[in-house]
Amino acid sequence: MKITRTLAVMSALAGFSTPALAFNTGGHFTATHSGLAAAGFSRGAIKYAQVANYQVDYWTNYFSWSTDGVRNERAIEYSQYYHFDDLPDAKWVVREFAWHETSTKHAIEKAVRDNKPGDVLIALGILLHSTQDFYAHSTMADVDWTRWVGKPIVIFETLPDDIRLNPKLAIKTGRAHDFHDALRPSSENQPAVCKGNSPAEGCWPQHLKEAHADHPEVCAGNAKVEVCGVNKDSYERRGHFIAREMAADSTKYWVDKAQRWINNDAFWTRVKTYSNDESAGCWDRAHGMSVYAGQWGRWKLRGVAQNLGVAAENAHGCGDFWQDETFNDVFVAMHRDVDPSVYQVPARTGAQRGSFIGTYDMTWGTLTGVLALRADGDFRTGTWTIGNERVKNLRRAKPDGNAFDIAIDDGPTGRIFINGQNGLAGFVRLSGNEQRPTGFFATKRR
């Protein structure tokens, strides 16, 4: 049974089935390791989360005829929803993140009640597969973020709504399949799917659409998203390394959230140092199967890699019990117990008392400076100092929710957003003729 299962999945990963793949296994494992290592996780805990991360693709590409058991059939069905596909604009991306957050928080809180730190890592691995896929499946890495927030690597989760919902940025994920009918808007509101080399304005790019028929694995350079698609799974595709770095930062973001959800230092330490080996061999199997299928590095290495995949499972014992019971118990409950919410545009709240007040260290391109903001009743005013230029004054302005428009001496205009607890982001247009913004970010002095 194990060999049959292994060959079935390797065949599917190698291209004999249709579900879309995002980051290859190597990309997922790299992003997971970066985020969890930055949070202080042990190697054993990281590998356990990596295996759970991989298991989502394992079930996605599983042939239903080679499995047995209702739980496994549900895992195959549910796995299709964990790849961040089929979301035609940013508001649906917001909703998808909210659904994943709710379901993961539910699973982690259950793991704490059941005293199962390993289940926390499984839930995290499942969540991270999907959230990392967002960066491999979306237009995030195609945006010049320095124009908006002053740095090239940002994550969608922490961008101010005023920026991430801006229609000019056209944040969306690729059109991959029909699995998300329950999670996306009605068909009459969807942009047309792109076709041909001259797609219509506003079309929705295919996930796996390619620019080079003679090299279908490559989508590099300046090829347009509408023609090329959004997939950034491999280093051969444009934007791969930017997307992977974003995915690593996103991983750390969600791990920090999980720590706050648990709110128990002793239990969190057990999660970070988890070393139980009930999934022994599964990491080696994931590596061997992915190398064989071209989902680890550059391309397929059949023969030796096929033997590596089968041998890894047999020699190291990636047990059916862990996969079919331990993992799937968490996975099925995550999906089954939490329904996707009805999407509503996030409410714009008024600026909190004390917001946009203080002294901030600012970075604007290659220049650094200081942004000092002070209260003037319900308004804000202040000064802007950048590089070696003289101090400039900011026009008195009233915050509009978590943002406000600014005007600086000598004509520059722009907008500032709250970005995190002690940060600001924003952009400035140097003149009325300069329509492309130049982004900056700032951190409040403690």
Domains annotated on the chain, with CATH: 2-138+173-336 (no CATH), 358-444 (2.40.160.90)
Taking the CA atoms of residue 207, residue 127, residue 38 and residue 323 in that order, the dihedral angle to the nearest 10 degrees is -110
2 burial class (0-12, 13-18, 19+ CB within 10 angstroms)?
A: middle
- Take residue 173 and report the two structure tokens written for it: 């994920």
Total residue count of the chain as it appears in this document: 446
HSE (CB half, 13 Å, CA atoms) of 249? 15
Note the maximum CA span of the chain. 74
Hey, how many other C-beta atoms are within 10 angstroms of the C-beta on 157?
A: 17
Residue among 323, 292, 294 nearest 7 (CA): 292
Look-up: residue for tokens 């797609």? 199
Cα(344)–Cα(255) distance, integer angstroms: 26
User: Contact, 368 vs 389, CB < 8 A?
Assistant: no
Non-local (6+) Cβ contacts of 6 within 8 A are 285, 289, 309, 310, 313
User: Over its length of 446 residues, how does the chain's per-residue pLDDT go in tens digits?
Assistant: 344 455 445 544 544 444 445 577 888 999 999 999 999 999 999 999 999 999 888 887 775 545 566 777 878 877 877 888 878 888 888 888 888 898 899 999 999 999 999 999 999 999 999 999 999 989 999 998 888 888 889 999 988 887 888 888 889 888 775 544 444 444 445 566 665 555 555 666 766 654 444 455 556 666 677 667 788 877 777 788 999 999 999 999 999 999 999 999 999 999 999 987 777 778 887 877 777 766 665 544 444 544 554 554 444 567 677 888 888 899 988 877 766 554 454 454 555 667 889 999 998 878 899 999 999 888 899 999 988 888 999 988 888 777 888 888 877 888 888 877 788 888 887 655 554 567 888 999 98
